Structure 1
Amino acid sequence: RHEQLLVTGADAVTFIENFTTAKVSDLLPGAGCEGFFCDARGWVIDLVLIRRTNDGLVLRMGPGRAASLRSHLDRYHIREDLELLDQSEGLRSLLISGAAASRWLENHFDQSLPATPANFAEGLLTAAVGATPVPVRLTLIDWYGQGGFLVETTAGEQLVAALTAAGLPQVETGTVLAWRLHRGWPLAEDIPEKTLPQELGLDGRAICFSKGCYLGQETVARLDALGHVNRQLMLLAVAGEEPVALGAAVVSGDTQVAVVTSAAAATDDAGWLALAILPLKVASEQSLTVAGRSAEVLRFTTAEDSSE
């Protein structure tokens, strides 16, 4: 599940441009991008999927996040011609992924599939012959690896039933979580207070360093000028079969350096995976432990890895 804000009106795009690290003014209808929303100090409020429609912008965020982001934006909304509408009620998200996902959707979705990550199409999805078409928004994403499509609809139960009846296999939630950890895609729980955008490792896709002023830009630009941050979101391989608890301490030597924000069993049955924001100086150390169990830093998979 997720939440959604619709920003409409003549000033919708220029207004949001002033509050996100992304260059949303370049988006055409049907295109999208990811962007950080920051406070005046440059600390991340949320990482948001931003999509341009004919009416304005659709902002997608995690559960329980729409109200706080809307409140943040409303504080600065004075005379601009725009509305901020919470469209979260009844919204459901599904992931259709895998090597055959595109081919299946080409036969069951009545619009051309988006070919660029974060781009989307709105149309009808018919899961099987004789099934009732379901209106959906279909977005190409790579948060869980290549070949993934985010399907959003207000007819979630109907669509799930139709996809199940059509024989599409369902993947365990833990497996999908492991895919996300391998990709290093952060959700709200991976972004603690006082986190800076560059600490999440998405500079090339969620931050435009050449755009005009926006809230928090001074901090982002200063970090860019320095050339590095002191800590960053990293993937840990943790030994042992016991689950890794959220909030578990990551220790280097005798010093706690971070806490686990997300965790999942490794898909190869070799221990557990965990995300944590670690100081760069400890990333290569051999003495890392998580809740007393040995751990090592792994590199995130890339689009090239996923396409092999």
Structure 2
Amino acid sequence: MSDQERLRRGLGLVRPYRVVSVVGPDARRFLHGVLSADVAALPVGASTRTLLLEPRGKLVAHGWLLAIADDRFALVVDEPVGVSTLEHLGRFCFRVDVELELGERPGVLWGPRARERAGVEPGAVVSRADGLVADLAPPRSGGPPRVLVLGPLPDEVPAVDEEAFAAVRIEAGEPVAGVDVDTTTIPQEAELVAGAVSFTKGCYLGQELVARIDSRGHVNRLLRGIVVEADGVPAVGAEVRRAGRRVGTLTSAARSDRLGAWIGLAVLRRECEPGAEVELAGEEQVLGRVAALPLS
């Protein structure tokens, strides 16, 4: 079984995330004010998807919040934005009794067998004498199951190479913060709002833009998949052009053994609908087509 198939059908070990611990008597109140999820209502022993935004509503990080105890939480974010997440939280950490710390890259069990192997229920955070395990709900409904492990890993779970993981992640339509999405991205452009934002909790950092778009607006760009079915290897960073006009930039690329093609992610102008033909203008010009996410 290939590494890609292991992630799709079985179980593999990956390390795509960093963990920021938030500890102290004011931890829950502090996080409720800066994150998009309803932290006040999050039970101890549960996890939820959430967003960390700039004051103007653009994306800093997307990930999961783990409620380990009433005064102890862990924010799980993409590895490229681990440091910037810590720094961003620190800017708003005044007149509150909390301590922030950035941990190393934890092991993540990825695949349909992850929960069974870790012994954890959907959405649960389980503390153990030697660490904890936490189920992380996929950003897209029906996405790949995954369980974060802090502490000893289960025996005989094979590590998967980064290229295979990239292919499965792109197929699933999951953008990496700091790579595919960044502080120029509105959360709705990457379909990151569902399951990560409470529209009833009241104010939080960056709320105004997200709420305004949800209630009466739309975005002009959308995260799309790109499939290269002709010859050629797409280059990350290549301009995506439609009828000679630049409509975005290719931010991730990998070869999918399931689709038998190179695939990628790009935030494109809204008019680039699935099925549209595009040119990827890197060192060589490669032809591709826009595809809806997840890729099938």
Normalised by the length of structure 2, the TM-score is: 0.82
1:139 aligns with 2:155: no
- Partners of 1:221 and 1:136 in 2: CA distance: 34
Counterpart of 1:75 (choices 87, 91, 110) is 91
Matched residue, 1:183? 172
Amino acid at match of 1:52: A
* Deviation (angstroms), 1:31: 1.1
* Deviation (angstroms), 1:219: 1.3
Matched residue, 1:205? 195
Q: Deviations over 1:123-178 (max 9, x none)?
A: 37xxxxxxxxx7452424436965633232355xxx48x41xxxx55544333222
1:150 aligns with 2:147: yes
Matched residue, 1:122? 127
Matched residue, 1:60? 76
* Deviation (angstroms), 1:233: 0.9
* Deviation (angstroms), 1:232: 1.1
CA RMSD of aligned residues (A): 2.6
* Deviation (angstroms), 1:273: 0.9
1:14 aligns with 2:4: no
Q: Structure 1 residues 5-14 or 137-146, which shifts more? A: 137-146
- Partners of 1:136 and 1:243 in 2: CA distance: 41
Give SS of 1:199's match: helix
- Partners of 2:128 and 2:257 in 1: CA distance: 34
CA contact (8 A) 1:175 1:267 kept: no
Counterpart of 2:221 (choices 227, 231, 255) is 231
1:293 aligns with 2:286: yes
Q: Structure 1 residues 189-198 or 251-260, which shifts more? A: 189-198
Matched residue, 2:246? 256
Amino acid at match of 2:51: F
Normalised by the length of structure 1, the TM-score is: 0.79
- Partners of 1:225 and 1:147 in 2: CA distance: 30
Please identify which structure carries the higher helix content: 1
Give SS of 2:34's match: coil
Q: Using a 3 Å threshold, how does the CA distance of structure 1 residues 273 and 208 change in structure 2: closer, same or farther?
A: same
Q: Using a 3 Å threshold, how does the CA distance of structure 1 residues 241 and 59 change in structure 2: closer, same or farther?
A: farther
Give SS of 2:75's match: strand
CA contact (8 A) 1:7 1:58 kept: yes
* Deviation (angstroms), 1:213: 0.6
Matched residue, 1:129? none
- Partners of 1:101 and 1:66 in 2: CA distance: 24
Q: Using a 3 Å threshold, how does the CA distance of structure 1 residues 20 and 241 change in structure 2: closer, same or farther?
A: farther
Give SS of 1:71's match: helix
Give SS of 2:200's match: coil
Consecutive unaligned residues of structure 2, counting only runs of 5 or more, are: 1-14
Paired positions, count? 275
CA contact (8 A) 1:241 1:272 kept: no
- Partners of 1:285 and 1:85 in 2: CA distance: 45
- Partners of 2:92 and 2:164 in 1: CA distance: 41
Give SS of 2:234's match: coil
Matched residue, 1:130? none
State percent identity of aligned pairs: 28
CA contact (8 A) 1:48 1:59 kept: yes
- Partners of 1:141 and 1:40 in 2: CA distance: 26
Q: Using a 3 Å threshold, how does the CA distance of structure 1 residues 64 and 280 change in structure 2: closer, same or farther?
A: closer
Q: Greater Rg, structure 1 or structure 2? A: 1
Amino acid at match of 1:94: V
